[in-house]
Structure formats: structure tokens, C-alpha cells
Amino acid sequence: MGKIVNDSVLDAALNEIKTKCTLMTACAGQPADFAAANVGGLNFLADVIMTGTDFILANGDVSGRKVSIIEKAGITVDNTGTADHVALLDTVNSVLLYVTTCTALGLTAGSSLTLGTWDIEIADPTL
């Protein structure tokens, strides 16, 4: 018996990120919680303000649906360290929405950072 999911179901999950994310941070190591990823937190290196227009919902590359996070340039690095994770935060409700790995990059406080476009994809169910 096959499995299906309507795009609206997948979009609901992705819209949770799109509508609630107010901050994206570069982190040294995987943050365990909101406080660790937020400004001044244990893993925090740099941050950039986010709005709903920074996210684009579309069909997934293979199947399902995705939300693309647009490139953010000119981000001021606050703390020196090696960025190897990116976190999306809801600062209104103090929620760590999403964390992913990134290519490790050594950062120096006061320098500038660009976080390129990346996707969060939810695939269609399979047998």
C-alpha cells in the first residue's frame, strides 16, 4: 500500500520556520538549546536578523517540499572561533527552531561573514 502526503502538510512544518525565525546564528559546535545558540551563548559566533522574506517555499529538489534560506552577506562576527553549525532561532518565544552543520570556517571577531543560500527539505514518504 502506498503512502502520500499533501504539500500543505509539509508546508505547515516549513512555514513554522519561515514565520517564526527572527535570527540566524553561526555557531562553534552544535548548540544544545536556545540559550547556547543565541547572542552571548556558549556556541554563538555571529548573528543576522531574519524575516519571512528571507525564506522561499518551493518543491523539493528530489521530492516533497523545501524552504530555501537566502544568502546573508556582511554579517559582523562577534566572537572568534570555528563556525561549523548554523542555527535558526525564534527570539520572541526563545525557541531553537533548527540547527544544521556547515563547512567549518575559522572566524575572527570584527571580520565579515557571508552565509550562502541553503535549504531545509522534507521528502515525500516512501514505501
- For residue range 88-98, what is the model confidence (pLDDT) as tens digits? 999 999 999 99
- Check residue 2 and give its pLDDT: 79
Residue 127: inside a domain: no
Question: Is position 106 within any domain?
Answer: yes
- If one counts the domains in the chain, the total is 1
DSSP characters over 74-126? EEEB-S-EEEEEEEEEETTTTEEEEEEEEEEEEE-TT-EEEE--EEEEEPPP-
State the chain's mean pLDDT as an integer: 97
Domain limits for position 81: 7-122
- pLDDT bracket for residue 22 (50, 70, 90): very high
Considering the domain boundaries, does residue 1 fall inside one?
no
pTM: 0.95
Residue 5 has pLDDT above 90, yes or no: yes
Query: Is residue 77 domain-resident?
Result: yes
The answer to whether 77 and 110 are in contact (CB under 8 A) is yes
Which of helix, strand or coil describes residue 46?
Answer: strand
2 found inside a domain = no
Instruction: Report pLDDT digits (tens) over 25-46.
Output: 999 999 999 999 999 999 999 9
- Residue 78's region, left for phi above 0, alpha for psi from -120 to 50, else beta, is alpha
